[in-house]
Amino acid sequence: MTYSLDHQDIRDGIAKLSQDFGGEYWQDCDKQDAYPAAFVDRLTAEGYLAALIPEAYGGLGLPLSAGGAILEEIHRSGGNAAACHAQMYTMGTLLRHGSEEQKRSWLPQIASGALRLQAFGVTEPTSGTDTSALKTTARKQGDHYIINGQKLWTSRAAQSDLMILLARTSPVPEGGKKTDGLSVFLVDMRDVLDKSLTIRPVSTMMNHSTTQVFFDDMPVPAANLIGEEGKGFRYILSGMNAERMLIAAECIGDAKWFIQQARNYGCEREVFGRPIAQNQGIQFPLARAYSSMRSAELMLQKAYQLYEQGHNPGEEANLSKLQAADASWQAAEACLQTFGGFGFATEYNVERKYRETRLYQVAPVSTNLILSYIAEHVLKMPRSY
Ligand SMILES: Cc1cc2nc3c(=O)[nH]c(=O)nc-3n(C[C@H](O)[C@H](O)[C@H](O)COP(=O)(O)OP(=O)(O)OC[C@H]3O[C@@H](n4cnc5c(N)ncnc54)[C@H](O)[C@@H]3O)c2cc1C
C-alpha cells in the first residue's frame, strides 16, 4: 500500500499516538468492557476531536476528509474510533442548525475537551430503521420542554456530558408526513443524570459502551432546541452523508489492518515447509479484499471531493459506506482464515477486530437501507417502505 493519500501529516500523527495504545490496551478494554478513556483523553488533548469545529469556535477548522483520515488511521493502527467518532458527526447538527448563541456557548467547550458531545439519542426499542415511528415526546412547558420516553443503543451516553436528542414535539399531522413534528435538542445530561435521566448499560458482542436511556419528565431548557421546532428529522438527515463517509473511513482502516496482518502472518507462517502466503488459496481472498478496499477508497475520495465543494453527495456517500463495510468484512474473513486457529486467540486481536467490524453492516445504518437508497434515489425505482 504505497499510494499517497490526503492529510499525511494527520495520518502520521495518529499512527504515532496509536503506538502508545497497542493491541494489549484494546484487549484489556475489551475484556473489561471498559471505555478507552486514556485513548480518548489523548486524542482530545492533541486536538484531533476538534478537527471539524471551525477555528472561530476554538477548533481546527479542517475539512471532512481530515476527520476521515483521523478515524481511518485509528482503525488501520488496530484501534477502534467508536469510542469517540460521534463527536465528529453529531457536532455537525449543532454546527449547521444551531443558533449563533448556541454555537458560542457550546462549541468552544467541546473543542477544548471541557465537555464531551458523544451521545446521539435517536433509536428506540420499537424504532430503529423507521426513525419517524419514535415515541419519545417533548412537551413545551413555560421556558422548558419536558421529555418522556426511552432510547436504545445510545452509545457513550455514560461517558458524555451532552446528547443530541430527537423527540416528537407534535403528533403526525392529519394527512401529513410522519417525519414532521420531530425536534432536536441539545441535552446537558449533567443537570438531570440520576434524577429524571437514567442510563443503563447494554452488553454487546464487542466493547461499545452502548446504553439504554430513560427520560422521566426530564426538563430541557427551551433555549436548547436546535433550529425550528418540528423540523428535527431533516436536521438529522442532513448529517447522514457526512456520517456515512466517516464510517466508510473507519471500515477502510479496518480493511487495511486485516490485510496487513494477514499478509505479514501468511509470509511468516510455514506449513508443509513453506510460507502459507505462497498458496494462492491464501493470496486470492486477500487480493480480492484489497481490490474491494481500494474501490471503496476511491469512491470515498470522490464523495469527499463533492462534499468539500459544497455538494450533498448522497449517491457517493452511500456507495462508499456500502463498499467500505463490505470490504472490511471481506478482509476480516480472509484474515481470520489466514490465521487459522491462531485467529481465534485473543492475543492476535484478529477476533476482536472481526467482532468490531461486523457492526458496520447494521449500524449506524444497515446495508439494506443503503441499498434501498440506491434503488429509490439513484435507480428511481418505487420506494419500498
Ligand atoms: C452497537 C450499536 C450501537 C448503536 N449506536 C447508536 C447510537 O449511538 N445512537 C442511535 O440512535 N442508534 C444507535 N444504534 C442503532 C442503530 O442505528 C440501529 O440498530 C439500526 O438503525 C437498525 O435499527 P434496528 O436495530 O432497530 O433494526 P430494525 O429496524 O428492527 O431492522 C432489522 C433488520 O431489518 C431490516 N429492515 C428493516 N426495514 C427494512 C426495509 N424496509 N427493507 C429492507 N430491510 C429492512 C434492517 O435493515 C435490519 O437488517 C446502535 C446499534 C448498535 C447495534
Residue 302 falls inside a structural domain: yes
Host H or E run for residue 150: strand 144-152
* Domain assignment of residue 78, yes or no: yes
- CA–CA distance, 378 with 374 (Å, rounded to integer): 5
In a domain, residue 322? The reply is yes
Cell numbers at 127, concatenated: 424504532
Any atom of ligand 1 within 6 Å of the Cβ of 136: no
Q: Give the DSSP per-residue string, 232-292.
A: HHHHHHHTHHHHHHHHHHHHHHHHHHHHHHHHHHHHH-EETTEEGGGSHHHHHHHHHHHHH
Is the residue at 177 inside a domain?
yes
**Any domain includes 319:** yes
Contact at 8 Å (CB) between 91 and 121? no
First to last CA, the chain: 41
Is the minimum distance from the CB of 362 to ligand 1 under 6 angstroms? yes
Q: With beta carbons less than 8 A apart as the criterion, state whether 331 and 259 touch.
A: yes
Q: So what's the pLDDT on residue 301?
A: 97
pTM of the model: 0.97
- Is any ligand 1 atom within 6 A of the Cβ of residue 128? yes
Looking at the fold, whether 159 and 40 belong to one and the same domain comes out as no
- In tens digits, the chain (385 residues) has pLDDT values of 567 789 999 999 999 999 999 999 999 999 999 999 999 999 999 999 999 999 999 999 999 999 999 999 999 999 999 999 998 888 889 999 999 999 999 999 999 999 999 999 999 999 999 999 999 999 999 999 999 999 999 999 999 999 999 999 999 878 889 999 999 999 999 989 999 999 999 999 999 999 999 999 999 999 999 999 999 999 999 899 999 999 999 999 999 999 999 999 999 999 999 999 999 999 999 999 999 999 999 999 999 999 999 999 999 999 999 999 999 999 999 999 999 999 999 999 999 999 999 999 999 999 999 999 999 999 999 999 8
CATH number at 163 reads 2.40.110.10
**376 in catalytic set:** no
Choosing from 207, 232, 257, the residue where a domain stops is: 232
Please report, for the domain that includes residue 59, its CATH number.
1.10.540.10
Backbone angles phi, psi at 148, to 5 degrees: -135, 140
The answer to whether the CB of 109 falls within 8 A of the CB of 59 is no
**Are 354 and 259 found together in one domain?**
yes
- The C-alpha atoms of residue 320 and residue 154 are separated, in whole angstroms, by 25
| Domain match, 126 and 104 both | no
Residues 108, 135 share a domain = no
Q: Do residues 122 and 96 share a domain?
A: no
Is the Cβ–Cβ distance between 136 and 215 less than 8 Å? yes
CA separation for the pair 357, 311 (Å, rounded): 29
Residues 121 and 102 in one domain: no
* Same domain flag for 279 and 369: yes
* pLDDT of amino acid 1: 58
Q: How far, in Å, from the CA of 290 to the mean position of ligand 1?
A: 28
Ligand 1: which residue has its CA nearest to atom 2? 153
3-state class of 136 per DSSP? coil
Residue at which a domain ends, from 183, 200, 232:
232
Asked if 61 and 178 sit in the same domain, the reply is: no
Residue 73 C-alpha cell reads as 488511521
- Burial label for 172, CB within 10 Å (0-12, 13-18, 19+), is middle
> Is the domain of 91 the same as that of 19?
yes
In this structure, the answer to whether residues 226 and 313 fall within a common structural domain is no
The answer to whether residue 139 is domain-embedded is: yes
Domain's final residue, options 172, 204, 232: 232
Domain of residue 206, residue span: 117-232
Q: What is the pLDDT of residue 90?
A: 85
Closest atom of ligand 1 relative to the 156 alpha carbon: 8
Q: Is 186 in the pocket of ligand 1 (CB under 6 A)?
A: no
Decide if 352 is inside a domain: yes
- Which residue has a Cα nearest atom 43 of ligand 1? 368
Q: Which of 186, 184, 233, 194 is nearest to 215 (CA)?
A: 194
H/E stretch holding 27 reads: helix 23-32
Look at residues 239, 334, 201 and name the one whose alpha carbon lies nearest to residue 277.
334
**Calpha distance 59→107 (Å, rounded):** 8
* 384 found inside a domain: no
- 99 and 122 both lie in a single domain: no
Instruction: Count Cα atoms within 13 angstroms, Cβ side, for 93.
Output: 33
Same domain, 333 and 360: yes
Pairwise CA distance, residues 137 & 131, whole Å: 13
How many A from CA of 129 to the centre of ligand 1?
5
Look up the CATH number of the domain holding residue 335: 1.20.140.10
How many separate domains does the chain show? 3
104 contacts: CB under 8 Å, gap ≥ 6: 57
Confidence at residue 173, expressed as pLDDT on a 0 to 100 scale: 78
